[in-house]
Amino acid sequence: MYDGPLARLARFCHRRRRLVLAAWIVGAAIIIAVGFSFAAPADNDFSGGKSESSRAQELIKQHFPGQNGDTLTLAIRADGGVQAVRSRVEKVLGDLAHTPHVVSVSSPYQAPGQVSPDQRTAFAPVQLDKVSDDMPVKDVTAMISDVRKASGDGLALALGGSAVINAETPGGGPTEGIGLLAAVIVLLIAFGSLLAMGLPIVTAVFGIGTGLAGIGLLGHLLPAPGFSPIVAGLIGLGVGIDYALFIVTRYREALSEDGADPEHATVVAIATAGRSVLFAGTTVVVALMGLFVMGQRLLNAVAVAASLTVLMTMVTAITLLPALLGFTGRNIDRFGLRLLTRRRARRPLSERWAGVIQRRPVLALATSAIALLTLAVPTLSMRLSFTDSSTQPHDTSAYASHRILADGFGAGYDAPLVVVARPPGDARPVADAVRSTPGVASVTPVRTSRDGTTAMFVAYPKTGLQDAATPRLVHTLRAAMAARRDAGGPQVYVGGPNAGTIDFADAVTSRLVLLIAVVVGLSLLLLLVLVRSVAIAIKAALMNLLSIGAAYGVLTAVVQWGWLGRQLGFPTGMPVTAWVPLFMFPILFGLSMDYEVFLISRVREEYDAGVATREAVTRGLARTARVITAAAAIMVCVFLSVLLGADIAVKQMGLGLGVAVLIDATVVRMVLVPAVMELLGGANWWLPGWLARLLPAAEPATAAPRVPVRAE
**What's CA 83's distance to the chain center, in Å?**
47
Do 29 and 97 share a domain, yes or no? no
Tell me, yes or no, whether 181 lies in a domain.
no
Final residue belonging to a domain, choices 473, 501, 529: 501
Could you read off the pLDDT of 584-604 as tens digits, one per residue? 888 888 778 778 888 888 888
- Rounded Cα distance, 609 and 605, in Å: 6
Do 515 and 494 share a domain, yes or no? no
Do 708 and 604 share a domain, yes or no? yes
Tell me, yes or no, whether 387 lies in a domain.
no
DSSP for 169-208, written as a single string? S-SSSTHHHHHHHHHHHHHHHHH-BHHHHHHHHHHHHHHH
Which class for 229: exposed (0-12), middle (13-18), buried (19 or more C-beta within 10 A)?
buried
Do 663 and 605 share a domain, yes or no? yes
Is residue 423 reached through a cis peptide bond, with omega within 30 degrees of 0 on the bond before it? yes
Final residue belonging to a domain, choices 501, 533, 557: 501
* pLDDT at res. 706: 38
Domain limits for position 159: 70-168
Do 198 and 251 share a domain, yes or no? yes
Which class for 5: exposed (0-12), middle (13-18), buried (19 or more C-beta within 10 A)?
exposed
Do 589 and 693 share a domain, yes or no? yes
Q: Is the distance from CB of 310 to CB of 162 less than 8 angstroms? A: no
Task: Check whether 258 has a pLDDT greater than 80.
Answer: no
Could you read off the pLDDT of 9-23 as tens digits, one per residue? 999 999 999 999 999
Tell me, yes or no, whether 285 lies in a domain.
yes
Which range scores top for mean pLDDT: 143-157, 252-266, 323-337? Answer: 143-157
- Rounded Cα distance, 618 and 351, in Å: 6
Final residue belonging to a domain, choices 501, 528, 548: 501
How many structural domains are present in the chain? Answer: 4
Do 196 and 282 share a domain, yes or no? yes
Task: Check whether 705 has a pLDDT greater than 70.
Answer: no
* pLDDT at res. 703: 37
Tell me, yes or no, whether 385 lies in a domain.
no
- Rounded Cα distance, 47 and 499, in Å: 9
Average pLDDT, integer, range 456-475: 94
Phi-psi region of 348 (alpha: psi -120 to 50; beta: other; left: phi over 0): beta
Do 224 and 310 share a domain, yes or no? yes
Do 515 and 409 share a domain, yes or no? no
Do 235 and 258 share a domain, yes or no? yes
Which CATH number do you get for residue 97?
3.30.70.1320
Tell me, yes or no, whether 144 lies in a domain.
yes
Do 157 and 199 share a domain, yes or no? no
Could you read off the pLDDT of 315-355 as tens digits, one per residue? 999 999 999 999 999 888 776 665 445 555 466 778 888 88
Which CATH number do you get for residue 238?
1.20.1640.10
* pLDDT at res. 67: 67
Tell me, yes or no, whether 526 lies in a domain.
yes
For residue 271, the tally of other CB atoms under 10 A from its CB is 24
Do 151 and 109 share a domain, yes or no? yes
Tell me, yes or no, whether 336 lies in a domain.
yes
Tell me, yes or no, whether 89 lies in a domain.
yes
* pLDDT at res. 701: 43
